[in-house]
Each structure stands twice: as structure tokens, then as C-alpha cells.
Amino acid sequence: MTAPKNFPLVDAVLLYDGNCGLCNRVVRLLLRLDRAGRLRFARLQSDAGQAYLRSHGLPVEDFDSLVLVPDWTRQPAGEFLLRTDGVIAALRGCGGSGTVFAAVLAVFPAAWRDAGYRLVARWRYRIFGEWKSRPLARPEWAARFID
């Protein structure tokens, strides 16, 4: 499924690798960009993340791909976006400068974007390391995480 230009994020949840330094930095960037609080987040390793992956036939031990669920309240519908399509939809949903970042990424064909995504995914732990838990910049952001 590809990300249409105006993909609606109703009750969106981004599933990400909670142990990855790069992934956690991206989540914190999205928290800053998403001033309206449209996005929520869950680690792929969490109970909620694992349940979603199992129920949609997605790998439960491969954390190299983020999953954007555009409407968490309609999980059984099976609508989700993977890798760069998910990143682009999340950025668009943030509005503001997120739409600019999304537009830059969307210029490239999905096959190229996803090839770059897979390359970074393969090296991300070597470059960015494992995430060491630290407090969020704003305490109210904690409510946007599902665990």
C-alpha cells in the first residue's frame, strides 16, 4: 500500500523498534513536529505492537521496518503503511515543516526510498547504537505512547 498525498491520520499509531537509537531519535523528531498531537507511538516489541503484528501476519521478530497504522481504532481493517510510505504519511500528518520533509522524500520512487531504508536499517545499530532510555523533553508526551 502506498501513501496517497492526503492520507488521513485519524487515530494513528507508529510502531517502531524501541531498542534502536535512530528509531527513537526519529520518534522524538516526530513528537516535536506534531504539535497537534495526531500521532501516537508503540514499540514493535511491546505487547500492543506484537499483538498488531501477529494479527496482521507481519513478522514479530524482525524490527527492521516501522509500521504506521493510520487508524488504530480500526485495526481489523488491516490498513497499514511500511517503511518510507509510513514515514512520509507520518510526516504529512504532522503538518508544518513535516510536510516539507515528506515532499522531499516523496520525490524519490518508492523502490529507491525503500532500498535506502533497508540499507540504513542494516547499519543503524552500528552507527546510532542501542537506545539508552532517557526522559522525554516534555512530560506530556508520555501520554502519546502505548505500551
Q: Assess whether pLDDT exceeds 70 at residue 147.
A: yes
Q: Assess whether pLDDT exceeds 70 at residue 1.
A: no
Q: Assess whether pLDDT exceeds 60 at residue 6.
A: no
**Greater model confidence, 11 or 41:** 41
Ramachandran region of residue 58, left (φ > 0), alpha (ψ -120 to 50) or beta?
beta
pLDDT band with cut points at 50, 70 and 90 for residue 2: very low
Rg (CA), the chain: 14
pLDDT single digits (tens) 104-128: 999 999 999 989 888 887 777 777 6
